[in-house]
Structure 1
Amino acid sequence: MIDKVTGAGVQPSAAQLKTLIDLESRFQPKLSGLRLIEFFGFSSETFSLAVSLLDRFLSVMKIQPKHLSCVGLCCFYIAVKSSEEEKNVPLANDLIRISQNRFTVSDMMRMEKIIMEKLYWKVKAPTALHFLRLIHSHIQEQLDSESKTILTIERLESQLKACHCSFTFSKIKPSLLAMALVCYEAQDQHDPEHIDKISEAVKSLQQLLNVRDGDLVCVRELVGKCLAEYATTKCFRPHCLRLRWTISGRTARQLKHSYYKIAHLPTIPESAC
């Protein structure tokens, strides 16, 4: 049975952060096995969990490029079933058709079993989204009403989605990525009065999470580079509606009937790295 991602609970945010920190290392992908990935999901929770599952699986299994779409869709499907309400879980066949993939439902179910076995049926894991929400909540508790408006969780979550689409952040601990996002966003506001207050709150959290200054500065710079790609006249900062797979009309016409020509997925060897 797939374990479920639990809610924030009633514990103070600081206590919840400590609990997630203790669990984080157990679910961190192995750096030696990570490959280039990009993915998207239904909700923020599903998106972040799907990325975590995909990272963890690719870090322990060697797969051929032709199998990546099946692996990615299965990780997404597992995340959907773990995070979304049962009534919102789509049929596997519908996911295959919508994503224009060339494999069958039986291929997908077989791959899902492989993924779950390699992850020891451990779906629930501390994600960057969990840390981001708790860090934001903890900081907001220490700010006055005016300073609280500087950091909005909606904007931070959109920025996190942009980072999730970059391979660079697959090797970074979720807690460190979340901290770096908050630090970048606070400094990007250019309001010395509010930045000082937020910096004090961040500093206390940094000590709580045992994050080194050098690591935080390095990841904050990577976040800045990633988000700079969205800072154009057409797309000022990442927004969930803009993080879409976009194809040309010609490509769309070529893909239109492809799901009627589904080919059987070759057997995927289960050799570990």
Structure 2
Amino acid sequence: MKITPSCLLKLSVVTIGVTGLKGSRGEARDKGRPSKLRKMIDQVTGAGALPFAVQLKALLDQEARYQPKLCGLRVIESAQDNGLRMTVKLRDFQVRDLLSLTRFFGFSSETFSLAVNLLDRFLAVMKIQPKHLACVGLCCFYIAVKTSEEEKSVPLASDLLRISQNRFTVHDMMRMEKIILEKLYWKVKAPTALHFLRFFHSQIQEQVDAESKRLLNIERLEAQLKACHCSFTFTKMKPSLLALALLALETEDQHECEPVPALREALHALQDTLSVKAGDLVCVRELVAKCLAEYATTKCLKPNGQRLRWMISGRTARQLKHSYYKIAHLPTIPEYAC
């Protein structure tokens, strides 16, 4: 199905405001979103008391259901850059824009990872035109914000439009939001690579000594994951495998440090639990290393690579926190020496 202007105009205006995913529309919101999954993700990212094996099984059981369809991703991968079809390059540009917005508002890594998941899943089932990509991306971002952030931190759709400098209207966003949620069967809160990364990191930290714990910094790992999200290469990979590869690469980078054998042992135990072949892990680890190396170069187009001229109203400016204006010019991955 193609999304055309006439298609958008025929859709009725459905108001999905700040409470659209958390408020009175609970029955529609929960359609296709098992309460078991929502509780499991909350326990994984929080202080869950369930055993590791139980939590892991629940996440792995849901993992495949929340991945983008491979057939749709291959269509994007094979598309020519003629301005008429979605391409890999356009997708990556859009994800970088979402990362810029995430940093501007000070939203969490969970919000960004979920927005990327929603965007990739939607692009894999719908043939959209490039001119509609900005609207799709911003709506996926807004859904993720309303799902992951506290209600008081959720901006108005009109303010989000002004800050992102897009030319469509709030009504366009509402119609597109409805399309996205229906095409994804209201399955919003997905187990992302970030969930697996935090989960695996927590499990490894419980098995190593204090010195080894210091070497695996979760903030650095999450920054690396964000860089990977900006590359279409990883859309076809299982989130659990990507998370494991990030941990494996970080452990390998600490080879000069004495406590590394403890980290490697814990990582191998995790690899065995996941039944991941050594060859598959090495392949993905090399792809991650290549992605991070390209991200570190000056030639790579990073999010916030150019200073944006935000067009905001006085009311919006008063609502924004002071920290929003103190964002680093380039989002670099933090480095920690052992």
The answer (yes or no) to whether the contact 2:111–2:149 under 8 Å persists in 1 is yes
* One-letter amino acid of the counterpart of residue 174, structure 2: M
Which shows bigger deviation, 1-10 or 155-164? 1-10
Query: Distance between the aligned counterparts of 1:229 and 1:105, measured in 2?
Result: 37
Query: Distance between the aligned counterparts of 2:225 and 2:231, measured in 1?
Result: 10
Query: Distance between the aligned counterparts of 2:183 and 2:150, measured in 1?
Result: 25
The answer (yes or no) to whether the contact 2:224–2:292 under 8 Å persists in 1 is yes
Q: Does 1:71 align with 2:136?
A: yes
The aligned residue for residue 21 of structure 1 is 60
Which shows bigger deviation, 18-27 or 8-17? 8-17
Shift of 1:200: 1.2
Query: Distance between the aligned counterparts of 2:274 and 2:127, measured in 1?
Result: 33
The answer (yes or no) to whether the contact 1:184–1:220 under 8 Å persists in 2 is yes
Size of the aligned set, in residue pairs, is: 247
Shift of 1:215: 1.2
TM-score normalised according to structure 2 size: 0.68
The answer (yes or no) to whether the contact 2:163–2:311 under 8 Å persists in 1 is no
The answer (yes or no) to whether the contact 1:142–1:201 under 8 Å persists in 2 is yes
Show CA shifts across 1:25-71 (max 9, x none).
11111122134322323210101100111111111111000000000
The aligned residue for residue 6 of structure 1 is 42
Q: Does 1:110 align with 2:110?
A: no
Query: Distance between the aligned counterparts of 2:275 and 2:249, measured in 1?
Result: 18
Show CA shifts across 1:206-229 (max 9, x none).
121121211111110011011112
* One-letter amino acid of the counterpart of residue 244, structure 1: P
Query: Distance between the aligned counterparts of 1:188 and 1:230, measured in 2?
Result: 17
Aligned partner of 2:253 among 188, 196, 218:
188
- Identical residues among aligned pairs (%): 67
TM-score normalised according to structure 1 size: 0.84
The aligned residue for residue 288 of structure 2 is 223
Higher relative contact order, chain-length normalized (CA < 8 Å, sep 6+): 1
CA RMSD of aligned residues (A): 2.3
The aligned residue for residue 152 of structure 2 is 87
* One-letter amino acid of the counterpart of residue 58, structure 1: L
* One-letter amino acid of the counterpart of residue 55, structure 2: Q
The aligned residue for residue 72 of structure 2 is 33
Shift of 1:247: 2.9
The answer (yes or no) to whether the contact 1:13–1:135 under 8 Å persists in 2 is no
Query: Distance between the aligned counterparts of 2:272 and 2:114, measured in 1?
Result: 26
Q: Does 1:247 align with 2:286?
A: no
Secondary structure of 1:125's aligned partner: coil
- Structure 1 243/89 Cα, relative in aligned 2: closer, same or farther at 3 Å? farther
Shift of 1:188: 0.7
* One-letter amino acid of the counterpart of residue 185, structure 2: Y
The aligned residue for residue 142 of structure 1 is 207
Show CA shifts across 1:68-117 (max 9, x none).
00000000000000000000011011111111111000000000000000
- 5+ residue gaps, structure 2, are 1-25, 31-37, 77-87, 313-338
Which shows bigger deviation, 10-19 or 121-130? 10-19
* One-letter amino acid of the counterpart of residue 59, structure 2: L
The answer (yes or no) to whether the contact 1:31–1:171 under 8 Å persists in 2 is yes
Query: Distance between the aligned counterparts of 2:199 and 2:302, measured in 1?
Result: 24
The aligned residue for residue 125 of structure 1 is 190
The aligned residue for residue 213 of structure 1 is 278
The answer (yes or no) to whether the contact 1:131–1:175 under 8 Å persists in 2 is yes
Query: Distance between the aligned counterparts of 1:26 and 1:101, measured in 2?
Result: 32
- Structure 1 14/157 Cα, relative in aligned 2: closer, same or farther at 3 Å? farther
Which shows bigger deviation, 186-195 or 150-159? 186-195
Shift of 1:119: 0.4
Query: Distance between the aligned counterparts of 2:284 and 2:210, measured in 1?
Result: 29
* One-letter amino acid of the counterpart of residue 6, structure 1: D
Shift of 1:183: 0.2
Which shows bigger deviation, 27-36 or 118-127? 27-36
* One-letter amino acid of the counterpart of residue 66, structure 2: F
- Structure 1 51/112 Cα, relative in aligned 2: closer, same or farther at 3 Å? same
Shift of 1:7: 4.1
The aligned residue for residue 57 of structure 1 is 122
The aligned residue for residue 220 of structure 2 is 155
- Structure 1 124/227 Cα, relative in aligned 2: closer, same or farther at 3 Å? same
Shift of 1:6: 2.8
